[in-house]
Amino acid sequence: MPGVSGPSRWCIRRRIRCGRDRRVDFRAVCFPSVIGAARGGGGTTAYSTLMIQDPLRKRNYVAYVAAGTRLDILYVKDAIKALTLVHDADPASLVADVDGVTVTRRVYNIAGIRSAGQAATAAEIQAAVSHVQPDAGQITFEPNPGLVNIVHTCGILDDTVARQQLKWKGDYPDLITAATDFQQEIKAYPDRIQALELSG
């Protein structure tokens, strides 16, 4: 389950076991890598945030993946929107007819930003940063084979069901839109990133 933490996996398995208990209104989402301002350096996919965050602050960043590495990424504000949508959904909308069988779905994939129908590459993230802020810090690539291999295991999510059943649609569907808002967040809340640096 790409983007699902250990505790979340446990909860989903518990939901499967107690699925017949109608008293439990269980709902969950499976996210790709979530990007947004004020993220620290932990996690294998942190580069997808840091190669936006650092250059927009006019700091150079060395990415540990190849320029052509693809990663499913979702802007944090769309992640919040998806969580709210699933939380607030009418229970009737969670029911679908699948081959004549009534199925109640409780877990939804939420896919990330797409570029020509595919997950974004690191080079495309780099290009979006340069577009939004031409004087941004420099981004270079020094691939770490071990980390690149882990990134390749993250997978690409398909959120067709969420789009059909819940009418899900993100507000930040492309890199330029996401990077532009990211830049505004950095300018509006510089203290958040500074606090991370001081605590790290």
All domains of the chain in start order, with CATH: 6-186 (3.40.50.720)
**pLDDT: is 77 or 98 the higher one?**
77
Burial class (CB in 10 A: 0-12, 13-18, 19+), 90: exposed
**pLDDT: is 184 or 15 the higher one?**
184
Q: In the predicted model, what is the mean pLDDT of the chain?
A: 87
- 1-28: per-residue pLDDT in tens? 444 555 555 555 555 554 455 567 889 9
Residue-level pLDDT at 7:
54
- Residues 31-48, mean pLDDT to the nearest whole number: 91
Q: Is the pLDDT of residue 195 over 80?
A: no
Residue-level pLDDT at 1:
41
| Residue reference for tokens 């790709």 | 32
Residue-level pLDDT at 22:
59
* pTM, full prediction: 0.85
Residue-level pLDDT at 6:
54
Q: How far apart are CA 61 and CA 141, in angstroms?
A: 9
